[in-house]
Structure 1
Amino acid sequence: MKVEQIYTGCLAQGAYYIVSGNEAAIIDPLREVTPYLERLEKDGVTLKYIFETHFHADFVSGHLDLSKKTGAPIVYGPTAEPDFEAIIAEDNQVFNIGDITIKVLHTPGHTMESSTFLLTDETGTETAIFTGDTLFLGDVGRPDLAQKATNLTQEDLAGILYESLQNKIMPLDDSITVYPAHGAGSACGKNMQKETVDTLGNQKKTNYALNQPDKESFIREVLDGLTAPPKYFGMNVALNKNGYESIDHVMSKGLNPIDPADLEAIAEDTGALILDTRSQGEFHKGFIPNSINIGLKGDFAPWVGNMIVDVQHPIILVVEQGSEQEAITRLSRVGFDNVLGYLQGGFEAWKNSGNEIDEIRRISPAEFAEQFSTDAKVIDVRKLTEYSAEHVENAYNKPLDNISDWAGTIDSSEHFFIHCAGGYRSMIAASILNARGIRNFTEIEGGYNGIKKTEKIPTTSFVCQSKVL
């Protein structure tokens, strides 16, 4: 038997590839299926089942393309109602893969179809659980995403999740390995550990959610500190449940070079967003007017989802040459399939063609320290938990996630400084503000991490973030 965790850092997502004998199973595959097909061919095995722990909200699964290319059926837990052919398993139903078995444990709460898959090895020993978003390391799945679909409150769903954990997970042996669908950085939970694999016994000791004295305490603690889910989550659920375009078609359509002379006309005719995926350091020096910067080298796909929201919105890419396919692939992982093409020759081709360019005013932390005064207006776009832990004295906290809400409140007559932790998020914010005609600001390179090192800017005392959740 072989169990391989295929972890994708930018989504903090774990897919699983399991082989026994000449058969295989894959759990929660990513959108691009070629890596799985290559593994199957290399191992000389047949894909027997594709298991889905639930209808994912934070990414588009590859279940449909993988099923079409291999003929393997898709398996969901009880109550799932997909708009395509699938096996809807019963609670405790067992599936054979080679010499091992996978039992479906219905564990509703995160969503009502959520299920955990219990693996029993060749010796008959219960070895591992694939918990999806039911149980994370250090946390559990947020119980507020399925309210609209179920007519249940988040308190109701949290209570259901408590029963699932107590009745289906906690009785299992401590030696069992826990393989969750997500790790630290995912918006599907709030307090995940940085590790991606653990024993159930250790989770029983260290996971705050598994150590509550009763259901009421569990509900209160799990719901405490939950921020609003990203706005694109509902659209990803719909794609996973209703179906989507083949990844092959998405790639073919997106890998369309657009001449610099044609870009503006295409953008105007289609209403396309010009998405510049270059690094923050390159973007601020020069970019196509009104383009938005979300760097490919970072949490690219989740921030695209947070900032653009509408997965159907047409997009034209500006990328470093050679990274076109990577950008389109990562966009497709969160359902942004309407890429019209990419700027041929990259930004240099645009610049060399004599087209208009724009810039963002950026200064170093040392320059900020020289320009700083007690009446300077500073906007910190980090999350509230980061800001609460430590920040520049008298700075305003305006999280990037909510920029659509606060951008309109900016006083255009008053200069302000803007920063995040390291520059990635503040450049996203700067590009959005700039595209909206707000230009009375200076962005700080290196963010708060750089500001703190100057030791010249007054900051608040550090508070452990776990205490401000």
Structure 2
Amino acid sequence: MFDVQTIETEGLGDRSYLVDDGEVAVVIDPQRDIDRVLDLVARRGVRITHVLETHVHNDYVTGGPELAKETSAAYVLPTGSDVEVEHVAVADGEVIEAGRLRLTAMHTPGHTHHHVSYALADGDGDAGAVFTGGSMLYGATGRTDLVSPETTDELTHAQYHSVRRLARELPAEAQVFPTHGFGSFCSATPTSGTSSTVGEQRKVNPALTQEEQQYVDTLLAGLDVYPAYYARMAPINRRGPAPVDLSMPERVDPTELRRRLEAGEWVVDLRERTAFAAGHLTDSTNVELGTNFVTYLGWLYRYGAPLTLIGESEEQVAEARRELVRIGIDDLAGAAIGDVESLADGQLLRSYPVSDFAGLAEAMSRGPVHVLDARRNDERANGFVRGSQHIPLHELADRLGEVPQGEVWVYCGSGYRASIAASVLDRPGRSVVLVNDPYEAAGKAGLEVRPSDA
């Protein structure tokens, strides 16, 4: 029998897997911070012989080459991956044997042209599991527009047939282990559930319940923007990433921190959004360290620009550094650690109020209020606060001139993106109010306009 251990990277919505037979192990789609894998291997007392990739990843920097080198394992990628690092290319139907484990490569194009899934069996039995990467997800499929606009339609049709092949050739009881789909933008549509089988997917997966053209049209219509850093990931993975560095960045004192702020450098405050609102350094940006941290900082950051972190503790900065190396932000300019009053070193702190949708409704009842919606286009299409201006967060830095001076109330789907937007807007001449509230509360407050009402 085999055992599957999941290594979850919640901030990117991805999962890596360690599969072993009690002695020998393979790793599938490892993240760059390979210490998590090595710790798990040590706890299980197994030996890695193969590191497998389902595809060249677009949403994170792989840890595959370094893990393979560290463990003297074979590094396996699909034929056609076009990578420069030393590897073993595997084609459709080829079998990888690792101890009592047998993994059969199944070419499942769609997410990329070269994408494969790995059907797992122990001994000569039927496949008991399949590692589907960005192909068959839980109630969804991987997005098909990450390679190029010219190939999106072709890959969408391919994705449909790939998922149908998995459902046709694998037993209903085979467990499905996707890499993407737990909040990842690599999913074409929202996923559902945290575990599944091939049989269950036959009943709910759109590629298995819709006719081909309906599936294609629905998927293409649902594709919206994805993080800007995605464009950098595949080239890094093809060249081969540098060894991971999780060391603490250089400490920055208050004088140097002020110089960097005044010079317009990227200074990111990791604190919780309401703490930042209550008091922060002028010109600093708030990206709260949490589940969405790496996605949105990576989306907004200009790669190569000096980046300094403000953290309340070394542990907070270390966690942020781990998140950032996963998307190739390696060269931090430093970190200022401590309470914000000490870091201000006598300089006045800025602040802005925090409210909710009920508070916004009350303010609007008293007179005109400028409201900014920082959500994506697809969210906006389903409803919005009446009279609000729409600038998605990832466009805000380039469109600041469109936001009027004076008081601005900012909202999103939960308050997280609105807090980033508020920190970007919070400059002399403008008064910001953060709406720190789930968007569902807008309807309860009588503020929402739906498409059917427009």
Q: Assess if the C-alpha contact under 8 Å between 1:174 and 1:199 holds in 2.
A: yes
For residues 25-104 of structure 1, the aligned pairs below 5 Å read: 25-104=26-105
- Deviations along 1:378-410, one digit per CA (max 9) or x if unpaired, are 222223443444433333333223324543322
Partner of 2:293: 300
- Are 2:240 and 1:251 aligned? no
Q: Assess if the C-alpha contact under 8 Å between 1:379 and 1:395 holds in 2.
A: yes
Unaligned runs of 5+ in 1: 464-469
| 1:428 aligned residue (417, 420, 423) | 420
Counterpart Cα distance in 1 of 2:380 and 2:83 = 41
CA-CA distance at 1:458 after TM superposition: 3.5
Give 1:288's aligned amino acid. Answer: L
Counterpart Cα distance in 2 of 1:302 and 1:40 = 28
- Are 2:339 and 1:342 aligned? no
| 2:162 aligned residue (156, 161, 164) | 164
- Deviations along 1:89-118, one digit per CA (max 9) or x if unpaired, are 122111111112011111122111211011
- Are 2:187 and 1:189 aligned? yes
CA-CA distance at 1:449 after TM superposition: 4.6
Counterpart Cα distance in 2 of 1:90 and 1:275 = 44
Bigger Cα displacement from structure 2, 37-46 vs 92-101: 37-46
Bigger Cα displacement from structure 2, 169-178 vs 26-35: 169-178
Give 2:343's aligned amino acid. Answer: W
Q: Assess if the C-alpha contact under 8 Å between 2:410 and 2:418 holds in 1.
A: yes
CA-CA distance at 1:356 after TM superposition: 4.0
Bigger Cα displacement from structure 2, 376-385 vs 52-61: 376-385
CA-CA distance at 1:416 after TM superposition: 3.0
Distance 1:394 1:227, change over 3 A: same
Q: Assess if the C-alpha contact under 8 Å between 1:364 and 1:444 holds in 2.
A: yes
- Deviations along 1:141-174, one digit per CA (max 9) or x if unpaired, are 11111127xxx43112212223333345433222
Q: Assess if the C-alpha contact under 8 Å between 2:311 and 2:337 holds in 1.
A: no
Partner of 1:229: 226
CA-CA distance at 1:314 after TM superposition: 2.4
Q: Assess if the C-alpha contact under 8 Å between 2:261 and 2:283 holds in 1.
A: no
Counterpart Cα distance in 2 of 1:200 and 1:314 = 47
Partner of 1:114: 115
SS in 1 for 2:228: coil
SS in 2 for 1:102: strand
Distance 1:227 1:257, change over 3 A: same
For residues 181-330 of structure 1, the aligned pairs below 5 Å read: 181-214=179-212, 216-247=213-244, 250-252=245-247, 254-265=248-259, 272-308=265-301, 310-321=302-313, 322-330=315-323
SS in 2 for 1:329: helix
Counterpart Cα distance in 2 of 1:124 and 1:41 = 28
Counterpart Cα distance in 1 of 2:177 and 2:208 = 16
Counterpart Cα distance in 1 of 2:368 and 2:351 = 26
Counterpart Cα distance in 1 of 2:24 and 2:286 = 44
- Are 2:369 and 1:376 aligned? yes
Partner of 1:466: none
Q: Assess if the C-alpha contact under 8 Å between 2:111 and 2:159 holds in 1.
A: yes
Give 2:220's aligned amino acid. Answer: L
Q: Assess if the C-alpha contact under 8 Å between 2:224 and 2:377 holds in 1.
A: no
Partner of 1:441: 432
SS in 2 for 1:50: strand
Give 1:369's aligned amino acid. Answer: A
SS in 1 for 2:278: coil
Partner of 2:178: 180
Give 2:433's aligned amino acid. Answer: T
Counterpart Cα distance in 1 of 2:320 and 2:227 = 20
Counterpart Cα distance in 2 of 1:42 and 1:88 = 30
Q: Assess if the C-alpha contact under 8 Å between 1:313 and 1:336 holds in 2.
A: no
Q: Assess if the C-alpha contact under 8 Å between 1:76 and 1:113 holds in 2.
A: no
Q: Assess if the C-alpha contact under 8 Å between 1:77 and 1:114 holds in 2.
A: yes
CA RMSD, Structure 1 to Structure 2 (Å): 2.4
| 1:460 aligned residue (431, 442, 449) | 449
Q: Assess if the C-alpha contact under 8 Å between 2:126 and 2:171 holds in 1.
A: no
CA-CA distance at 1:14 after TM superposition: 0.8
Distance 1:224 1:438, change over 3 A: farther
SS in 2 for 1:282: helix
When normalised by structure 2's length, the TM-score is: 0.92
SS in 2 for 1:239: helix
When normalised by structure 1's length, the TM-score is: 0.89
CA-CA distance at 1:461 after TM superposition: 5.8
Counterpart Cα distance in 2 of 1:387 and 1:451 = 13
Partner of 1:467: none
For residues 385-424 of structure 1, the aligned pairs below 5 Å read: 385-412=378-405, 415-424=407-416
CA-CA distance at 1:426 after TM superposition: 0.6
CA-CA distance at 1:268 after TM superposition: 6.7
Q: Assess if the C-alpha contact under 8 Å between 1:260 and 1:344 holds in 2.
A: no
Figure out how many residues of one structure are paired with residues of the other and give that number: 449
